[in-house]
């Protein structure tokens, strides 16, 4: 991981738990990878497959730009943008590296106490371990892996 410029990279998985105040400790390796321009701030929102997505502030600004480029005239576009931004909140981690997660997002992701935190290169996913296990059981077929790997020359 790089912390000296904007070439962030979040990788790996860690298991953690939510405390009684709905706070999650962001793994130190992810905090170190966060560029100083983000001022310890992430944007947390609903993700696909019932997980939560944690974007570094500078990455979120790129997402906002992409969302803003969608047509507000098309119902499908409006609904998609609304579903992402209506639950998006800025979260700044405290001196112990914790962020507070609102109840509505915990309920959406079916998170009670235990979580899986997964680095997804430029963003972080926060999962209920049960949902993650169910999602993992729907793995890509071997041919899909090969096709996707070929698309990016992996």
**pLDDT tens digits, the chain, 154 residues: what are they?**
444 445 668 999 999 999 999 999 999 999 988 888 888 999 999 998 999 999 999 999 999 999 999 998 999 999 999 989 999 999 999 999 999 999 999 999 999 999 999 999 999 999 999 999 888 765 666 667 677 777 776 6
Measured CA to CA in angstroms, residue 26 lies from 10, 16, 44, 77 at distances of 12, 9, 12, 32
Question: How many whole angstroms separate alpha carbon 145 and alpha carbon 38?
Answer: 34
Listed by start position, the domains of the chain span: 13-129
Question: How many whole angstroms separate alpha carbon 100 and alpha carbon 139?
Answer: 31
Question: How many whole angstroms separate alpha carbon 66 and alpha carbon 63?
Answer: 5
CATH 1.10.10.10 fits 13-129, yes or no: no
pLDDT at res. 150: 77
Return the closest-CA partner of residue 10 out of 27, 19, 24. 27
Question: How many whole angstroms separate alpha carbon 145 and alpha carbon 113?
Answer: 32
Return the closest-CA partner of residue 26 out of 39, 38, 37, 40. 40
pLDDT at res. 103: 97
**Residue-wise pLDDT tens digits, 31-55:** 988 888 888 999 999 998 999 999 9
Alpha helices (H) along 2-154: 28-33, 57-68, 75-85, 103-108, 129-136, 142-151
Residue carrying structure tokens 């570094």: 56
Contact in structure between 43 and 105 (CB atoms under 8 Å): no
């Amino acid at each position: 991981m790089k912390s000296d410029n904007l070439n962030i990279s979040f990788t790996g998985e860690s298991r953690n738990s939510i405390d009684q105040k709905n706070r999650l400790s962001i793994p130190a390796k992810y905090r170190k990878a966060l560029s100083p321009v983000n001022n310890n701030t992430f944007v947390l929102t609903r993700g696909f497959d019932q997980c939560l997505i944690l974007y570094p502030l500078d990455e979120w600004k790129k997402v906002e730009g992409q969302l803003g480029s969608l047509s507000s005239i098309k119902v499908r576009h409006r609904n998609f943008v609304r579903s992402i931004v209506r639950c998006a909140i800025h979260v700044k981690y405290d001196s112990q590296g914790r962020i507070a997660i609102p109840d509505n997002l915990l309920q959406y992701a079916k998170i009670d106490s235990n979580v899986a935190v997964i680095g997804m290169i430029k963003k972080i996913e926060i999962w209920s371990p049960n949902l993650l296990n169910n999602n993992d059981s729907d793995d890509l077929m071997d041919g899909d892996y090969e096709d996707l790997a070929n698309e990016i020359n992996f």
